[in-house]
Amino acid sequence: MTTRRGKNLGSFTVEAEIGRGGMGVVILARQQNLERPAVLKKIRSDLTEFPELAERFEREARTAAAIHHQNVVAVYDRFSWRGDHYIAQEFVDGVDLSTALTRIGGSLPWRIAALISLEVIRGLEEIHSYGTVHRDLKPANILLGRRGEVKIGDFGLALDATGSSLTQPGVMIGSPPYMPPEQMLGQRVDARCDLFSFGVVLYEMLAGRLPFPEPKDDETDSLLARMQRQRYERVRRRAPATPRFLASLVKVCLRAKPARRAASASALRRRLEERLGRPSSADVRAELTSWLWERGVFELKENETVLRVIEPRLEDERSLRWVPGALACGAVVATLLLVDIGPSPPEPLAIYPAAALAAPDAPDAKGEDSCPPGMIPDPDALPAQTGPDDTNDTRASDSAEAESDPTCIPG
């Protein structure tokens, strides 16, 4: 059946065919009743007669529809239209990580790789909380939006850990370079299967190549043997700028035995958040948007303009924790300097009683202390002081002075 533009499929109208593979067709459509873009996945009509494939298709819809998280592609609906089966899911306007790595040249700066990994592990944490294992985590299934979104998609191989597996024992299904040894052997897997794949993706973003590439014809070691022996070039040799904490995360994820791998997606998420300064998803989107557009990962559409808002970003907030203390110390020093700098205050005036200024043999005279503040004794009203010729009048003068106060005038 053709998927021509304008064709109606239920409440969806076809806009373009964006992919075709062995399992079916991927269509870009528009959901008319909600006026939003959507992606329709249609299983090939001739494959519906195989019960296992039909069940896997339906399980993908049920599994993804139950998970609501900003780092997981949302499923809108599952429906049948004229004998064909469809899954309607969120449209992420951007490219997958595999395409981005190709356009950039193979590897990413460690911080960009770490930010993408943080969003991926947040999505995996939510997926695992539902008891689901993705089983096919790889760059082609990690979508990067034009606004910096990072979303995990394609749940075609997802395994419900609480239910029965559709994969028969001993059957390998998935993408071998990203699969852990137990999955390659067809054994039962759990959430640690996705953590191994996460480690492979992180290694590839940092080093620009796979840790376990497909063996060449002249190589004797198989891919499985390399994984079991953990024979891969250490990431810091391929990318020397990689911080040790990221190299440690890669190492703990790529361990061959599940029991020795990272305990959970939650543990990896907490480690990344701690080292990256606990950025929110909005912070991550803003930084990724700027970097991906600068590197030409996305192409401008017709009548589209991209504006960049430049904001200062602290590389490591902990490195500036000394600033408040330094400012406080500076304030104290400035205060001390302000106190010490400047002319010295004048020496206090020496005030002596009038008796101390009188002649030794002269009787005490009433001075300025007898007047209120701001007033002085009137010189013309002061009692006459006795002299050498007035010795007989001394007692009378002292008595008169004691009985009367001097007249005060403004000083």
Considering only CA atoms, which of 314, 285, 299, 261 is closest in space to residue 144?
285
- Are the CB atoms for 252 and 262 separated by under 8 Å? yes
The Cα–Cα gap between 119 and 130 comes to 18
DSSP symbols for 148-188: S-EEE---TT-EETTS--SSPTT---S-GGGS-HHHHTT--
- Are the CB atoms for 293 and 287 separated by under 8 Å? no
Stated as kind and residue range, the H or E segment containing 376 is strand 375-377
Residue with tokens 């403004």: 410
The Cα–Cα gap between 120 and 251 comes to 18
Sheet holding 75-81, edge to edge: 8-9, 12-20, 24-31, 36-43, 84-90, 75-81
Indicate which residues carry an active-site annotation: 136
C-alpha torsion sign, points 293, 294, 296, 300: positive
